[in-house]
């Protein structure tokens, strides 16, 4: 189909806006958290003030990852973080992870009253056995995606997930609190990268078309 509407988020296109139809549930928003990046003046060419960016999650790890990405791009931004009712708790396929990120971005753009909405989603693709991370950014018309660094998961982990286990609690029980905090990518990459760093890499790629040096909001 070419276009539909969900009643809450307004019109969207499919794909990727089909994620809204798949995941939306009615529910109240919690109070959003507003903060500013400490980046030096910069950001998109031709832009004077900060960009208001809404993150479709209240996760502390995702918030720090987005701030890291914005800082790396030299963007001046005000960040608001808000909960997303009905977002997938643990996507178990590549497609569901991508759709989850797109849905979070669209919901954040609409309900965060921001110039950019951002969604960060981590999941596991049970078919390939790989950890997967996606970021999505939207200005309400365009959608940009970024895919983060990934690692294959051991069969024992995949078997536990197929039995219904959640990855975070599994890591905590099997490897300890630090592993749960830094994520599966840290555990199975030998400590080469944390979940926050991997999500930040994906977010930087998704934000680039809007905030990078060659284009973005406010560019001529």
**Between the CA of residue 48 and those of 75, 139, 141, 169, what are the distances in Å?**
11, 18, 22, 44
Least confident among 85-89, 204-208, 214-218: 214-218
CB 103 within 8 A of CB 23: yes
The Cα 84–Cα 88 span in angstroms is 9
- Over residues 139-190, the pLDDT tens digits come to 999 999 999 999 999 999 999 999 999 999 999 999 999 999 999 999 999 9
Least confident among 18-22, 118-122, 125-129: 18-22
Residue 126: alpha-carbon gap to chain centroid: 20
- Over residues 53-92, the pLDDT tens digits come to 999 999 999 999 999 999 999 988 999 999 999 887 889 9
Q: Tokens 């307004």 identify what position? A: 10
- Candidates 1.20.1440, 1.10.110, 3.40.50, 3.90.950; correct CATH number of 3-148+202-211? 3.90.950
Binned at pLDDT 50, 70 and 90, residue 212 comes out as: confident
pLDDT(138) > 70: yes
Biggest CA-to-CA distance, the chain: 53
């Amino acid at each position: 189909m070419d276009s539909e509407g969900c009643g809450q988020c307004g019109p969207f296109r499919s794909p990727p806006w089909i994620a809204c139809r798949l995941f939306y549930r009615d529910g109240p928003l919690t109070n959003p958290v507003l903060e500013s990046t400490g980046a030096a003046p910069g950001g998109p060419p031709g832009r004077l003030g900060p960009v208001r960016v809404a993150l479709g999650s209240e996760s502390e790890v995702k918030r720090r990852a987005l701030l890291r990405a914005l800082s790396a791009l030299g963007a001046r931004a005000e960040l608001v973080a808000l909960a997303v009712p009905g977002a997938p708790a643990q996507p178990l396929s590549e497609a569901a992870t991508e759709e989850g990120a797109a849905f979070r971005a669209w919901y954040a753009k609409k309900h965060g009253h921001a110039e950019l909405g951002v969604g960060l989603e981590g999941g596991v693709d049970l078919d390939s056995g790989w950890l997967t991370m996606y970021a999505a950014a939207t200005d309400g018309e365009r959608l940009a995606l970024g895919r983060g660094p990934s690692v294959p998961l051991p069969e024992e982990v995949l078997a536990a997930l197929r039995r219904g286990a959640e990855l975070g609690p599994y890591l905590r029980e099997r490897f300890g609190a630090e592993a749960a905090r830094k994520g599966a990518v840290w555990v199975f990459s030998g400590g080469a990268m944390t979940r926050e760093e991997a999500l930040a890499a994906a977010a930087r790629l998704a934000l680039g078309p809007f905030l990078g040096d060659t284009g973005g909001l406010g560019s001529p």
